[in-house]
């Protein structure tokens, strides 16, 4: 077996575990989201993530490999970071940032996997991986759109209002 084939299988196992971990994290992210659009995006991406797992299982079957994951330390770290933001109640803008880090991790993985599948002559696997790659890119764009259309602006306005409050208090005390 070639070194590229081994790397391909190793990364498949990593992203399989990463997607499994994400199915546990997304409901928590949805619950923590205050913005309805963001909550809906997380819920929708959970359904997509379940499809991603199904596609990965198809790829494993096409390769006559056992379906199993390898602990994805990268995803584990990204999810832990997101959970910390939830615990600290950092808000939707921070949640979007954490989610986009996850999307970029997945985009990098699926981009490499699709390319390697084509090089290894695994066209059916490449098509499945490409489909998931496009969905991950779309999820990232949706998060970006939600951030830019409302969430980031609302977070900024909230911070400005919070900064203004102490100034008013000091001004009133000086009178």
For 32-45, the pLDDT digits (tens) are 999 999 999 999 99
Is residue 99 helix, strand or coil? helix
Q: What pLDDT is attached to residue 81?
A: 95
Task: For the chain, state the CA radius of gyration.
Answer: 20
The DSSP-derived string for 35-76 is: SHHHHHHHHHHHHHHHHHHHHHHHHHHHTT--------HHHH
Given a cut of 80, whether residue 79 has pLDDT beyond it is yes
State the Cα–Cα distance between residues 147 and 75, nearest whole angstrom.
22
Q: What pLDDT is attached to residue 170?
A: 47
State the Cα–Cα distance between residues 32 and 90, nearest whole angstrom.
10
State the Cα–Cα distance between residues 156 and 152, nearest whole angstrom.
6
pLDDT digits (tens, 9 = 90+) for 113-133: 999 999 999 999 999 999 999
DSSP state of 118: H
Percentage, residues of the chain above pLDDT 90:
75
CB contact set of 10 (below 8 Å; sequence gap of 6+): 70
Q: What pLDDT is attached to residue 90?
A: 85
Percentage, residues of the chain above pLDDT 70:
85
pLDDT digits (tens, 9 = 90+) for 7-27: 999 999 999 999 999 999 999
Q: What pLDDT is attached to residue 162?
A: 62
Given a cut of 80, whether residue 69 has pLDDT beyond it is no
Mean pLDDT of 146-155: 73
C-alpha closest to that of 48 among 84, 19, 73: 19
Q: What pLDDT is attached to residue 149?
A: 85
Given a cut of 60, whether residue 174 has pLDDT beyond it is no
C-alpha closest to that of 57 among 66, 46, 70: 66
Instruction: Write down the pTM of the prediction.
Output: 0.86
Q: Average per-residue pLDDT in the chain?
A: 89
State the Cα–Cα distance between residues 167 and 174, nearest whole angstrom.
11
State the Cα–Cα distance between residues 132 and 16, nearest whole angstrom.
12
Q: What confidence category does residue 68 fall into, taking pLDDT thresholds of 50, 70 and 90?
A: confident
């Amino acid at each position: 077996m070639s070194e590229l084939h081994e790397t391909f299988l190793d990364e498949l196992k990593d992203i399989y575990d990463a997607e499994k971990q994400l199915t546990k994290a997304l409901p928590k992210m949805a619950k923590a989201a205050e913005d309805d659009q963001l909550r809906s995006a997380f819920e929708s991406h959970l359904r997509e993530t379940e499809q991603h797992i199904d596609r990965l299982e198809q790829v494993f079957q096409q390769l006559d490999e056992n379906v199993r994951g390898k602990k994805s330390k990268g995803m584990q770290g990204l999810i832990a970071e997101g959970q910390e933001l939830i615990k600290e109640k950092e808000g939707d803008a921070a949640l979007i940032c954490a989610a986009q880090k996850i999307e970029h991790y997945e985009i990098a993985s699926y981009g490499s996997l699709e390319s390697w599948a084509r090089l290894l002559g695994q066209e059916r696997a490449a098509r499945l991986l490409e489909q998931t790659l496009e969905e991950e890119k779309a999820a990232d764009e949706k998060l970006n759109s939600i951030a830019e259309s409302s969430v980031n602006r609302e977070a900024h306005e909230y911070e400005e209002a919070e900064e203004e409050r102490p100034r008013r208090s000091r001004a009133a005390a000086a009178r």
